[in-house]
Amino acid sequence: MKIGTITFHCSYNFGSALQTYALRKYLTSLGHDVHVIDYRSDDFRNYWIFRKRGIKSSVLDVLSLRGNLNRRASFQSFWRKYFNLTDRTYEGKDAEQYLASDLKDYDVLICGSDQIWNLDFTSGPVAPFFLSFAADTATRIAYAPSLSHSKFEEKNFTDEDKRKIAHWLHDFAAISVRELLPAQQFQALTEKPFVETLDPTLLLDVEDYREIQAQQLPKKLRSEKYVFAYTLWPDSEMVNYLDKLAHDRKLTIVYYSKKPIHYISHSVNVWGIGPAEFLALIDNADCVVSNSFHATVFSILYGKPFLTFGTGQNNSRMETLLGKLGMSKDHLLPDDFRGGIDIVPFSSRLDSSRLSQLRECSEQFLNSALAKTEK
C-alpha cells in the first residue's frame, strides 16, 4: 500500500527526526511504500537559522553561524537519506489545497507521532495534522500523537476549535495517542475509542539505531569519558548538578546548545551535530542527564545510566514512559529539585518482555488499522 505520514519531521530536533525515521522504518518493514509528507507548519519558522527576535538574538545567530549551518546540513542530510520525502514541500496558506490534490492516490494517511496535537505548542489546532486534506478513499490513522499535558490554554482550544477537531476525528478509522490521560480532552469530542500506543522510536531495537548512528565521535571526544548533557532548557540547578557530577566522576561534560553554557568542569559544546551523531553520543556516554523525552527513550534503549530533570506539564510524558516500561520513577527528578538529595545517574534493567508486550499491542493497533484498507 501507498502510505503517507505527517508529523514534525522537519524541525531541527533529534526526537522529531528519529520518531519520523522509526515509524517509516517500521511500516516499510511490513512491505509498504511509505512517504513522509514534507509539510512545514508555521511552527517550522521557529527553527530557521535567523529569527526576527531582536538584536541580541541576531548577534547570537551570527556568532554561532558555523554551528547553525552545520546543524542545518546535518539534519537535512538525514531527512534526504531516510525519509523518502514527497516531491513537493507544502507550506503557507495554499498547503491544504496542494496536499489534497497531490495525495489523492494514497491508500493510507497517518498523522503522528510527536506533539502535533499539543495545541499550546501549535497555537491551536493545525488542520493538516488532523488529516483535513485526506481524500474520502484514504484510510486515516492517528499513531501516537502527543497532547503533552492535560489542559490547554483556552485561547488555543476554543469552542470553534472543538467543533473542528470533532469533525476531523469523525473521519478517522483508528486513533491512538502516546498518553491517554491528556487525550481525554479530545476523547470527549468523539465516540471513537482512543488507544494508548508506544512512541515510534520504541518500535525498533537498539541495533536498528546502531545501523544509522555515526561510526565515530568527533576527534576531540574519542579519548574522553563524558556525561552527555542534553538539556533543552538548562537552568542553574542543572548546571550546578552537572558540574558536581563531572568533578566527582572525572568526566567531560558534552552538551548541545546554541548559547554556550559556562560550566566550571571541562566541557565540549557539540552544537551543529545531527541525529546520527546524537545516537553515537548516547551510545558512547558514561551516563546521560537530560530533560528530554527522547533522550530518555534512547538512554533506556542503549542501557545507559541516566537521570531526567522534570519539566512541569511535560512530566506526564516521562512518567508514562517509565511506568509503561516498569522502570524506577527515581530516574525522574522533581520540578523543584535543588540538589538536596544525593542521586546520580543509574541504570534500570529494561524488562524486555514488558517492552515486547507493549510493542505487540502497538503493532496490533497498526496492523488492524491497515487491514481496514486491505479489505
| Percentage of the chain lying above the pLDDT 90 cut | 72
- Is the dihedral angle over the CA atoms 213, 215, 219, 222 positive or is it negative? positive
Banded pLDDT at 49 (limits 50, 70, 90): very low
Q: In sequence order, which residues have a C-beta less than 8 Å from that of residue 321 and are 6 or more positions away?
A: 199, 293, 296, 297, 300
pLDDT tens digits along 245-300 = 999 999 999 999 998 999 999 999 999 999 999 999 999 999 999 999 999 999 99
Q: Say whether pLDDT at 106 is over 50.
A: yes
Phi, psi dihedral angles at 280 (to 5 degrees)? -65, -35
Strands 332-333 and 39-40: unpaired
Residue spans of the domains in the chain: they are 2-204+357-372, 214-344
- CB-CB contact of 316 with 149 (8 Å): yes
3-state secondary structure the chain: CEEEEECCCCCCCHHHHHHHHHHHHHHHHCCCEEEECCEECHHHHHHCCCCCCCHHHHHHHHHCHHHHHHHHHHHHHHHHHHCCECCCCEECCCHHHHHHHHCCCCCEEEECCCCCCCHHHHCCCCHHHHCCCCCCCCEEEECCCCCCCCCCCHHHCCHHHHHHHHHHHHCCCEEEECCHHHHHHHHCCCCCCEEECCCHHHHCCHHHHHCCCCCCCCHHHCCCCEEEEECCCCCHHHHHHHHHHHHHHCCEEEECCCCCCCCCCCEEECCCCCHHHHHHHHHHCCEEEECCHHHHHHHHHCCCCEEEECCHHHHHHHHHHHHHCCCCHHHEECCCCCCCCCCCCECCCCCHHHHHHHHHHHHHHHHHHHHHHHC
Number of neighbours of residue 259 by Cβ within 10 angstroms: 12
Q: What is the pLDDT of residues 87-99, one digit of tens each?
A: 999 999 999 999 9
Question: Full-prediction pTM beyond 0.85?
Answer: yes
* Mean pLDDT value across residues 78-90: 97
Confidence of residue 63 (pLDDT cuts 50, 70, 90): low
Per-residue confidence (pLDDT) for residue 313, from 0 to 100: 60
Residue 142 Cα distances to 130, 178, 192, 349, angstroms: 8, 10, 12, 31
Q: Is the peptide bond before 265 cis (omega within 30 degrees of 0)?
A: no
CATH T-level topology, domain 2-204+357-372: Rossmann fold (3.40.50)
Between CA 162 and CA 50 the distance in angstroms is: 34
pLDDT bin (cut points 50, 70, 90) of residue 43 is low
- The three cell numbers of residue 72 are 542545518
pLDDT bucket at 51, cuts 50 / 70 / 90: very low
Q: 31 — alpha (psi -120 to 50), left (phi > 0) or beta?
A: left
Residue 3: exposure state from Cβ atoms within 10 A (0-12, 13-18, ≥19): buried
Same fold, 2-204+357-372 and 214-344: yes
Rounded (5°) CA angle 251-252-255: 130
pLDDT, tens digit (0-9, with 9 covering 90-100), for 187-224 = 999 999 999 999 999 999 999 999 999 999 988 888 88
- Answer whether 270's CB lies under 8 Å from 256's CB: yes
- Mean pLDDT score of the chain: 90
| Residue 78: count of CB within 10 angstroms of its CB | 21
pLDDT score recorded for residue 64: 66
The confidence score (pLDDT) of residue 235 equals 82
The strand pairing partners of 34, in sequence order, are 3
> Does residue 374 have a pLDDT over 80?
no
Record: fold of 214-344: Rossmann fold (3.40.50)
Tell whether the model's pLDDT for residue 372 goes beyond 90.
no
pLDDT digits (tens, 9 = 90+) for 133-192: 999 999 999 999 999 888 999 999 999 999 999 999 999 999 999 989 889 999 999 999
Q: How far apart are the first and last CA of the chain?
A: 12
pLDDT value at position 340? 59
User: Per-residue pLDDT for 50 more than 50?
Assistant: no
Q: pLDDT tens digits, residue range 311-321?
A: 776 677 788 88
Q: Is the pLDDT of residue 25 over 50?
A: yes
Candidates 213, 232, 180; CA nearest to 82 is 213
pLDDT tens figures, 326-352: 898 889 988 778 775 678 999 888 888
* Long-range Cβ contacts of 90-93 (<8 Å, 24+ apart): 90/37, 90/38, 90/39, 90/40, 90/128, 91/39, 91/40, 91/41, 91/44
